[in-house]
Amino acid sequence: MKYIITEEQYDRVVNKNVLFWIKRRYDLVEKALKETYKLTKFDICRIDDYEKFEKKFFTVMMDCLHPFFYDDESFTHLEYDMMCEVVLRDLFYVECTEFYFKGREKC
């Protein structure tokens, strides 16, 4: 028997711990996003490929959040990888894209 579920249902079941972590610390995530804007602003003109910039953007964002993961003892490596590869990209894809292409206009 196969079940068809929506992405929202999947996130609630599979990514539950990661999404709860983000919801509880959303102010830290927003602060990390603002810091990421500052740290990657210079790279917009240096990186011609959006996919490379996107990877750098979310790597920097994870680095900004890194100290907070160690404060939470129940945060596993799998959840860390899931947050980087799936959840943050889904949440902030539009912000990253707009930031990059708006910055590319000035180059």
Q: How far apart are the C-alpha atoms of 87 and 79, rounded to whole Å?
A: 10
d(CA 66, CA 71): 9
* 1 located within any domain: no
Report how far apart, in Å, the C-alpha atoms of 82 and of each of 75, 85, 99 are.
11, 5, 23
The domain of 18 spans 7-104
Q: Which two tokens stand for residue 44?
A: 């917009």
pTM: 0.79
1, pLDDT greater than 50: no
- Whether the per-residue pLDDT at 44 is higher than 80: the answer is yes
Distance CA 58, CA 32 (A): 10
**Residue 2 forms part of a structural domain:** no
Count Cβ atoms below 10 Å from residue 44 Cβ, excluding itself: 19
Does 32 map to a domain? yes
Q: How confident is the model at residue 52 (pLDDT cuts 50, 70, 90)?
A: very high
